[in-house]
Structure 1
C-alpha cells in the first residue's frame, strides 16, 4: 500500500517514514513540496495521504481541497496532522472530507494504529471496487450473450420467411447493411444504427402467412391476390407486436411500414412523409436498392448507375428524399457491401428454393 507523506519539514518526513516502516506491505513516498505532490497525484493514486496543515505556499486545507478535486481521488483516505489547539482547522478539514487527524507531537503507536485501520478500509474498498468491476463485466457479457442469441433466433426466423420467397439470404445481409449505412449517414447514433441493422431482416417476416400459391406464383398476380400479398406487412407486425425487446419492437415497425410510400400511395395504411416511421422509410430505400442490383434466377441485376437513377427518380414520391441522399452519399461503401456479401449471394443462388 502506497502512502504519500506531504510535509515541508524534512525532519518530519524522515520521522514519519521511519515510524511507518514498522507496518508490513507499506511503501512511504515523502514529498516536501505540496504543489509537486499534487502534480504527482494527477498521474498516480496513493492508498493514503498523510498531510501536515502548517505549510508555506499551500497549507494542508488547500492541498486537501485540490486533492479531492482530482479525478479518482474522492475515496482515498487522508490524515491531517495539526496542533492540539487548531479545532477550527479540524472542523474545516472534516468539511473538506478529511478522514482522520493526528496531533503534534505524533505518537508512534497512534500513527501506526490509525494508518493501519485506514489502510484496512482502503483494501476493502479496492476489493469492493474490483468486485463491482467484475460484476459489471459479467453482466455486460451476459447481456451481450442474450442479445446475440436473440439476434440469431431472429435471423433464422427471417431466413425461414425468405426461403418461402424467391429471394436470397444474401439479400437480408446486404439490405441490413444498406439500412445501417443510411441510418449512419442520417446522423443516427451508433445504438440506433445497430438496432436498425439487426431489425431490418425482419421486414418480410409476415410472408410466412401468405399462401404458397400466391407467394410462389410465377406469373402476375390478380387484384385479389395482390391484396392478399400486401397483408404480409400486417401479418409481420402482428407476429412481432407486443414484445418488450427493443429489437422486436423496431422489427414490428419496419414490417408494418416498409411498403409505405413517401407520397402516401403505399400500403397498408397509406401514410405519407414523416408520418411514416423513420425506420420504415430507411428500410424501404435499402430494400428496393438491393432488389434492383441483385441477380435473381428470373432477372439480371441492374448496374449501380441505373439503380441510383431509379432511387433519385423516386425521391419525394416513393422514397424519403433524405433517406435516398443518405444511402447514396457514399458509393464506395455501397460497393463494399455488395462485395462483402457476394459469396452469400452465389451460395444462395445455387441452393434450392
Structure 2
C-alpha cells in the first residue's frame, strides 16, 4: 500500500480547470492508496469536489474509487490553505479524524496538523495515524520540534503507536541546517526519517533540496516499511514533461513510501451509482439473482409440502392408535361387566373358561 504527501503549490479552481495540470495531477494521485495534498487554496470546496469527480472518472478509478477528507482553511493571516486527503475505499477505511489544537497562549504551528486514523487491512500494521505537515520556512525548526507534542496527543487520544508524519518540512537548505536538524526532538529515536538528505524533492532546476519528508514512529512502523520504497516521484521524468509544464503542476515532487502487505481481509467498499457502461452487467446480475430466488422458492415449496404431508400422516396414525386404544378399553369394560353378571345370575361358566381380554 503506497502512501504519499504532495505540496501541489496553490491548488485551486484555476489549476483544476487547466486540462494539462488536471490530467497530470490525476495520474500522480492514482498511483497511491492514500495521498495528502498540501497547499490547497480552495476556499469554497468546489475545486476539490471537481477534482474528486474527475479522479474517479479516470480509467479504472471508476471501479475502484477514491474518497476525500478535507480540513478547514488553516493559517494565521489572509493566506490560508487546506490539508486534503484522497484514499482508495477498497484499501482504506477512514476510522477517525481531528484538527490538532494548541494550548492557550501557544501558537507554534502556522497550520496545525489535520490528523486522520485509517484502517488498512491489507498491511502488516492494520491501522495507522497520519500527521500532515507544512511548516513555515522561517519557523521550520520550532514547528518540527513541536511535532513531538502532536505525537503524544495522538497516542493518548487513540492509544496507537502506528504513526506516520509526512509533508513539506522545509527541512533543508537555509531553512534547516544539518546541525539544527540534529537538535530537534523528532530527529532522534524512536523517530525514523525515511527520506534521505540526498533526495531531491523539488521540481525546480534551481535547487535540489530535500524539503519534503516522511517520518515514522517506533520500530514496529519501521519494520512495516518496504525497504528502499521511500523516495520522491519525479513526475517530470515519468511523464516526459517540459520545465514549464512541470512547474505549472508544482514546484515539489510527491514523497512516497510503501507499507508491507499482510493477511488480506475484505475492506468495506461503497456502492457506486450505476453508469451506462455497467448497466448491462447490472441487469445480467439482476437476472441471475432472480433465477436463484425462483429456485430457492421452488425448493422451499416442495420442502414445506413434504413436511405438511408427513405431519398429516403422523396425525392420522396417532388418531388411529388412539381409536384402537379406546376400543380395547371398551372391550375390557364389557368383559368385566359380563363377569359380574355371571356371578350374580349363577351361570356355570367359570372364569377360567372365559376368553381373557387383552387388557
TM-score range, shorter chain: under 0.3
TM-score computed with the length of structure 2 as normaliser: 0.23
TM-score by length of 1: 0.23
Higher helix share: 1
Find the structure with the greater CA-based Rg.
2
Structure with the bigger RCO (C-alpha within 8 Å, sep 6+) is 2
